[in-house]
Structure 1
């Protein structure tokens, strides 16, 4: 392992967690997006992460939730069809909030690793320069 591998691995983690946080923010912001039954439902984004041995983690892609969504009865909604139905996203808000906490904790851990690595490298440079 090279001298700066820790920083590179922590940096890849920061990038993946930031992407995850962005996707979750997008999902939560659109949790109440209602569409007519002849349209696809809002599709939540799910980040696919993969290990990159020796380099950290990469975002392998973004998967989308089911476009069918959930049919809900809401005859007062302006987009309701003749039967009073609308299409809502098939998304569990509790799951989104749980993932948000996990993504935040992962991001914070990567920041802390970066900080410790920088402090260690700075100490090593000072020792070497003395």
Structure 2
């Protein structure tokens, strides 16, 4: 595999992992978003990654969570219905945080590949200058 090919693959990985990180940040930021029972709950986003034939990776799509969410009894909440229920999103914070670590590590690995390729190019250029 050539150096330019590894850069191209790392670039596709950076894009996919950035999208994954963005969707996780959005999910975590909205984990406590409460709506009335007459509205849909916040729908979490899940990135669907797809391997490319050339070795890279693409975002194939974004799957959304259940708009039904979870009904929570909270009669004191201003959005509560006549029975005292509100709708919370169905966001599992432990899963989101685990995925966040995986997405960060994947992004960091792609950055390291890019840095290594740059170091290799700089070394080759310095040899050519000598």
TM-score, reference length from structure 2: 0.94
Structure 2: runs of 5 or more not aligned: none
**CA offset at residue 2 of structure 1?**
4.2
TM-fit CA distance, 1:47: 0.6
CA drift at 1:53: 2.2
Q: 1: distance between equivalents of 2:14 and 2:76?
A: 44
In 1, Cα distance between equivalents of 2:51 and 2:126: 34
Matched with 1:84 is 84
> Partner of 2:123 in structure 1?
123
Match of 1:56 in 2: 56
- Structure 1 runs of 4+ with >2 Å offset: 124-130
RMSD between aligned residues: 1.2
Structure 1 CA distance, aligned partners of 2:118 and 2:79?
54
Where structure 1 has 5 or more consecutive residues not aligned to the other structure, the ranges are: none
Q: Kindly indicate whether the alpha-carbon contact (under 8 Å) linking 2:3 and 2:117 is maintained by their aligned counterparts in 1.
A: no
Paired residue total: 130
